[in-house]
Structure 1
């Protein structure tokens, strides 16, 4: 089945920290470190508590994770009707299947695991064998299981809490009910073991917290939490008798167990329900997670006994409204959310993520009161513009807010909201006339000095970013008679383009504010986007069409039709060849500007609210309706050749799954696939160099000193030439060699009596044929050069140089011998073996006999045959080298 998109492939999701599933904490004895595990939908993240740095990301589940627990060996997750055990916080090791309904509670119990589904069917699993140890069924009408725990020191026993309010203590070894607790006629939401033996903290939906003694079935004390249901409970174990509780309102209550009273309150610790809470063992630290997509570490060092925020890791608590790449390297993404915050996400590593803060009408008052009780919070950002050229000098981001005419400035370098609130005096002086006026469009010049702001009243104003001073307006009295849907300034600050709702596009001189020309369209305009380098202006209309206007010639050059609903955002590719658009019809379309056709289209589950293609063209970023994540899509045309043809008019797009925080895989079959791959690996036969020569180039494995200096032997000999002439050694006395033995005998060389098969002299040559020439003559008939190659391998550099020089007629050879040597080189190159030494022999041969090779027709013909084989060998080798270098360069640049 073909991919839904030819260009884009899901890469990963950013901005996810945690969700409504309670966190789990594990202490690693090897590293002496506490680790917290949080759920992020179909995967879970592992963070260290010392810095809240991400340690690992699990494989993706087929469905959303409903519950998560840990023990000393595994991380257990409930996903649908299946429970899985992960090793090393990442890969699935065991799978437990047997439930007929979705699992919502898990409890590790020694070498067993207890799981409870929505029908109150309890199964006790053997962790190692994946077998069922015990099964228990409860009737939801009389006892619906909502919480479970193992009381400390209670051997083989578990405590179950119900929606009806009663509790049951069971012995899972004997499968017997030990005791029934009447309860308090309220749903039990949390069960937590207290530091004292036999004491359990019970959280109820009404907000009551009961400390109950299981041994005597007596209530020790009760606390009332006024903020709704109790969602989390934990106890400090560092010597202070303190219990903390979390609520659905995001508040935390600190209870003094000795005095049995409320110690203090930590209001608005989270902006949503506190899903998980855990006090670290023997430390004054507490970790909390909430439904607002934030993970926080608190330290109990305040005078009233409350916790102070020590570390925080968070993403958007509400879906993003606008996303845009920042800077030219494409490594940072600016995102504005419905939580009124502006954040920067890094595609390199999560440690580079940062928050620019939350929009406020009065920043100083917000600092004094804090974000928890901030009454100056501004509405969410709807549109913003950023320019990195002057980020170290002054504010370089301007933003429009929902329902406001005030434009705020932000500083990316200082990671904070700026001091300027841009608003013209005309709006302040005539509040009645401009009561409903809103800021609808904003843009920053490429120099970073000015910003232009468009309003729903038709006015377009220019402000200086350094001082926030008003620098003029376009038109008299306004640029348009209707709402301004977009403003843009070209790359040289020469022309300003404004677009009105009525379909009129006007061109102005940027500095003098003079009107130049207008272009009237037939339909209403919803938004515009300018690509400054190419002067191409994309205009989205209310009839779902997209027009491309050349602002140099000021006329429409392309028209794109295809979206079935309103267009939400547009983005140009770096070279302005593509225009990527998204609409409320849940499609993402890629248009090719030179051909004016649609080349790619795919569907997503939730409509895209904003998108941005990186300045380097490697990633597409999207945000979606009711989703707090920022999704990255990889541009596949950068890694392989893809034929991009025009799609037919009746093309039906396919749905593509959104990226996850980890790789997309079918986790159910991961273990089987890994085993199969391992078996295939060991079952594969060993391939020798002879067997892989058809695919790869193999070397001779000879020392480089035997072939590397062949072309430089003359230089080496000249450098090593002695300064003084060699002296004649003293004459030794004449003697005859003897044969070793008991009786001394003289070694007399016997004359060879065998018949000579041929002469060692070639016809027309006065010098004898060398050993290399003999082997070349012998291999002429059968073209077997194995003996010849072995002979050359056995020689040193000087001997090889002498042998190759002797192949010419002056050295005892001939043109036939030289042609045979070229044939030997050609045949050896075709085998793809001994590649480096053959290249060295060929280089020396061409250097020594270059003049004769160019003058002989027969040798030239052999060289042409050799050139074809040589080019093919080098081409294959160069392709492999280029592929490896490209991959290494990309990985090196991606980690900078």
Structure 2
């Protein structure tokens, strides 16, 4: 990717790859059956695209192309998936590509229903449009008075030809024949808004869910209510009926509970409490199977199985992400395949970059694990608030806990075990605050030593404590009483457990001996630090300041070696590249910037729609992971520098980045043709090395050594390659077209048939001039030697020797052409290009024709000119080499 086209897209280094941990939003899912595969699929909307999963394993099988806006409604028939966004509706084929777009609504569309070859849509202005799917034309349009009948639900009653049942916010229902455009019947309703209309397994009978929490089983043929149920958890959000022989109806509620109702005994038989932590968006019983699929805005899809008679549904499988935005993400181990993510929902989760089946949730923090397991997370009174920051180390993960986490507003820090996938054994809390619990002190920063034995925990009171990760015992603290006078904003331990670094709100950076806790060095910062990050391998400590600047401390020299400024908002997070050359920072100004430490410059910057709150570059350097404000997913960006040549140049101080979209759930395919930018464009172009860097330097050819290095040793090579026995002629040699010798094979076709058939040797053909000879002759008048040099570059060593021998008068040449050859060498030397070729050609020419040159004054005069020019060029090069060697020697001595 060229820098020009990359900058047009926003980033030179990173391009959107995929999103992790996104499964569902507040829209109801759609279940489809594939006749050929004999398999059920579930479709869920996620932002601007929708995902398709197989029900068998809940594995993702397709992700749609992104739409310009968030999807407001999704539905499907046996062929297409329909998604409404804004005032438009798109139809997708193969669950991926848009094949139809329906335009005509004047307000946002919020209800969709496929109906044979037609699609019915309802917008916020209460306009109903019936579309012809293939032609995209409007078949029928119905306008309701919003005050008397605001459409809130619609369905097609089974076996009712051309008829649609509409439910309203006023509570009444209307049955329409959409072919004849006639209102057939109006049902008076039940004094509450209709939220759901669902066909029951019985013909003529529909289930009506109301905003009052009532469920009405109504016969629309005779306008007769068969039974009523009352749900105590608020409005009905979804309804579904079992079709596998059990007369069970499931109803969804806004608080995440599911009610199971027996239609024969007309009573509530079971409750599935906390099926989701948010409202039940959709629930569907699979046809003739004891399986219930549910989804909700808590970013979860769950499949429940009813394998016990009269019992609750048992969770069979699920796909679950964060139900609230992640606050901190970090790659877990050196493989870069797992990303730990702490969310505002209080959970710590691990997302795999390989496959969703490797995802796992480490659960919700709690003070009493046994009690929480018994009561459930929702009713756990001792649950901990969300994790603000954490540190992990894999060195001793098989022996004891390898993750330590700080909780919002909590003094206590908790340990977690990745392999067990749960909270760990320790809750670390210093004893100094036991007497006065009223103090508002909380843990602010944490780090684990590279050996995995020690955890260093910093507090808002200025204290820094050390604990043993195996036993959880306190192993000392830094400073006589406090390490800092204000809250500690960052703490880090070096790779060999020699030093500990801490930064505090008192504007101080302090360096301590890790083991003895002795204070070694203090550095005053120009502003209060917000956070710090140590790259252990390179010994670089990055400190983000409250004035939106970044300072880099070299641990060895204990000096600030780099200062970066340019962010216009609070710096949320930082991450180093594996080799320590790049520092990637995310800020509230919605930019993600890449700083190059060796050059001390900004080399990449791009804008995202929502500010990144956390970033982490994988230990292998192939993916950058980011989490964003109000976003539930973890987004991966691929590093283009690993697989293509990317030229990085410092960006100007006034560089204005462009916004790029967050990646979808599958690798993005960029099919758009790149625009050709004018040469006068101010965009940064890809650096292309010119043919000549500097007029004082010489440039070598890019030809292989074998093409020019062996020119002076051809006689020795020929002697070594001489066959011991003459080659034997085969009895019946196959027919071959003769070729002209050279690196580029060319067939030597006879000019006329008579010449090809003639067995008499034609001496005129042998004395024919070569192309190179002709070009040298032409160059005597034109004084342009580009063509003969080009021809020589294409020839092999043997062919070059033949051409140079043929220049002498003894071989049919001419003294004037030999003089032209020397002028060609002089021309190459003047241009200072192909310097190695000029030396090799001149050496071979002198070896072949030295006696003739000495006898011809004309040639001798030209040879002297070439010699003088050659000596001048060598002197210039020698001077440059001496200067460079002198400078290198000086730098070397200064370093030693």
After TM superposition, the score normalised by the length of structure 1 is: 0.75
Contact 1:408-1:421 at 8 Å conserved across structures: yes
Aligned with 2:154: secondary structure? strand
Residue of structure 2 in register with 1:640 after alignment: 645
Aligned with 1:6: secondary structure? coil
Residue of structure 2 in register with 1:735 after alignment: none
Aligned with 2:395: secondary structure? helix
| 2:587 matches 1:583 | yes
Task: Say if 1:303 and 1:516 are closer, same or farther in 2 by CA, change over 3 A.
Answer: farther
Q: Equivalences for 1:183-198 in 2 at 5 Å? A: 183-198=189-204
Provide the C-alpha distance between the structure 2 equivalents of 1:39 and 1:718, rounded to a whole number of angstroms: 80
| 2:333 matches 1:338 | no
**Matching residue within 501, 506, 514 for 1:502:** 506
Aligned with 1:426: secondary structure? helix
Provide the C-alpha distance between the structure 1 equivalents of 2:763 and 2:105, rounded to a whole number of angstroms: 93
Residue of structure 1 in register with 2:255 after alignment: 249
C-alpha displacement of 1:473: 1.8
When the two chains are superposed, the root-mean-square deviation of aligned CA atoms in Å is 4.0
C-alpha displacement of 1:94: 1.7
C-alpha displacement of 1:258: 0.6
Provide the C-alpha distance between the structure 1 equivalents of 2:847 and 2:416, rounded to a whole number of angstroms: 76
C-alpha displacement of 1:529: 0.9
Deviations 1:350-387 (A, max 9, x none): 33322222212112222223334333321100000112
Contact 2:154-2:164 at 8 Å conserved across structures: yes
Deviations 1:136-180 (A, max 9, x none): 111111111111000011111010001111100001111111111
C-alpha displacement of 1:545: 2.3
**Matching residue within 538, 541, 547 for 1:537:** 541
Deviations 1:8-66 (A, max 9, x none): 33332221101011100011122221110000011000001111010110111111111
**Matching residue within 280, 285, 289 for 2:291:** 285
Consecutive aligned runs of 4 or more in structure 1 exceeding 4 Å deviation: 662-667, 754-762, 773-783, 814-817, 852-858
Task: Say if 1:595 and 1:257 are closer, same or farther in 2 by CA, change over 3 A.
Answer: same
- Per mean C-alpha deviation after superposition, the further-off stretch among 468-477 and 68-77 is 468-477
**Matching residue within 378, 389, 393 for 1:383:** 389
Provide the C-alpha distance between the structure 1 equivalents of 2:17 and 2:86, rounded to a whole number of angstroms: 25
Provide the C-alpha distance between the structure 2 equivalents of 1:123 and 1:532, rounded to a whole number of angstroms: 63
**Matching residue within 449, 453, 456 for 1:449:** 453
Q: Equivalences for 1:432-831 in 2 at 5 Å? A: 432=436, 435-638=439-642, 639-648=644-653, 650-662=654-666, 759=761
**Matching residue within 292, 307, 323 for 2:329:** 323
Task: Say if 1:368 and 1:446 are closer, same or farther in 2 by CA, change over 3 A.
Answer: same
Residue of structure 2 in register with 1:264 after alignment: 270
Task: Say if 1:553 and 1:169 are closer, same or farther in 2 by CA, change over 3 A.
Answer: same
Provide the C-alpha distance between the structure 1 equivalents of 2:450 and 2:350, rounded to a whole number of angstroms: 20
Q: Equivalences for 1:69-88 in 2 at 5 Å? A: 69-88=75-94
Aligned with 1:502: secondary structure? coil
Deviations 1:458-515 (A, max 9, x none): 2212222222222222222232232221110011111011222211221111122222
Residue of structure 2 in register with 1:697 after alignment: none
Provide the C-alpha distance between the structure 2 equivalents of 1:211 and 1:526, rounded to a whole number of angstroms: 60
Deviations 1:611-652 (A, max 9, x none): 12222333222212121121222333442322322322x334
Task: Say if 1:393 and 1:718 are closer, same or farther in 2 by CA, change over 3 A.
Answer: farther
**Matching residue within 155, 175, 178 for 1:172:** 178
Provide the C-alpha distance between the structure 1 equivalents of 2:812 and 2:344, rounded to a whole number of angstroms: 85
Task: Say if 1:718 and 1:269 are closer, same or farther in 2 by CA, change over 3 A.
Answer: farther
Residue of structure 2 in register with 1:5 after alignment: 11
**Matching residue within 371, 378, 385 for 1:365:** 371
C-alpha displacement of 1:131: 2.1
C-alpha displacement of 1:103: 1.2
Aligned with 1:471: secondary structure? strand
Provide the C-alpha distance between the structure 2 equivalents of 1:756 and 1:569, rounded to a whole number of angstroms: 85
Task: Say if 1:755 and 1:534 are closer, same or farther in 2 by CA, change over 3 A.
Answer: closer
Task: Say if 1:755 and 1:456 are closer, same or farther in 2 by CA, change over 3 A.
Answer: closer
Task: Say if 1:157 and 1:483 are closer, same or farther in 2 by CA, change over 3 A.
Answer: same
After TM superposition, the score normalised by the length of structure 2 is: 0.75
- Per mean C-alpha deviation after superposition, the further-off stretch among 417-426 and 310-319 is 417-426
Provide the C-alpha distance between the structure 2 equivalents of 1:488 and 1:664, rounded to a whole number of angstroms: 37
| 2:51 matches 1:45 | yes
Task: Say if 1:204 and 1:718 are closer, same or farther in 2 by CA, change over 3 A.
Answer: farther
Provide the C-alpha distance between the structure 2 equivalents of 1:755 and 1:536, rounded to a whole number of angstroms: 81
Deviations 1:247-289 (A, max 9, x none): 1111100001011011111111100011011000111100000
Provide the C-alpha distance between the structure 2 equivalents of 1:816 and 1:342, rounded to a whole number of angstroms: 88
Aligned with 2:372: secondary structure? helix
Aligned with 1:230: secondary structure? coil
| 2:323 matches 1:308 | no
Contact 2:12-2:646 at 8 Å conserved across structures: no
Aligned with 1:2: secondary structure? helix
Contact 1:269-1:372 at 8 Å conserved across structures: no
Aligned with 1:388: secondary structure? coil
Gaps of 5+ in 2: 1-6, 674-716, 729-753, 777-801, 814-843, 851-896
Q: Equivalences for 1:25-36 in 2 at 5 Å? A: 25-36=31-42
Deviations 1:670-706 (A, max 9, x none): 9xx9xxxxxxxxxxxxxxxxxxxxxxxxxxxxxxxxx
C-alpha displacement of 1:778: 13
Aligned with 2:167: secondary structure? strand
Task: Say if 1:188 and 1:588 are closer, same or farther in 2 by CA, change over 3 A.
Answer: same
| 2:235 matches 1:229 | yes
Provide the C-alpha distance between the structure 2 equivalents of 1:759 and 1:500, rounded to a whole number of angstroms: 97
Provide the C-alpha distance between the structure 2 equivalents of 1:54 and 1:816, rounded to a whole number of angstroms: 78
Provide the C-alpha distance between the structure 2 equivalents of 1:287 and 1:50, rounded to a whole number of angstroms: 11
Task: Say if 1:761 and 1:155 are closer, same or farther in 2 by CA, change over 3 A.
Answer: closer
C-alpha displacement of 1:587: 2.6
Contact 2:8-2:658 at 8 Å conserved across structures: no
| 2:106 matches 1:100 | yes
C-alpha displacement of 1:526: 1.8
Residue of structure 2 in register with 1:744 after alignment: none
Contact 1:608-1:622 at 8 Å conserved across structures: yes
Provide the C-alpha distance between the structure 1 equivalents of 2:569 and 2:469, rounded to a whole number of angstroms: 37
Number of residue pairs aligned between Structure 1 and Structure 2 = 732
Contact 1:323-1:612 at 8 Å conserved across structures: yes
C-alpha displacement of 1:305: 2.3
**Matching residue within 403, 406, 410 for 2:412:** 406
Provide the C-alpha distance between the structure 1 equivalents of 2:571 and 2:267, rounded to a whole number of angstroms: 57
Contact 1:535-1:551 at 8 Å conserved across structures: yes
Deviations 1:168-218 (A, max 9, x none): 000111111111101112111100000011110000111111111001101
- Per mean C-alpha deviation after superposition, the further-off stretch among 589-598 and 174-183 is 589-598
Aligned with 2:237: secondary structure? strand
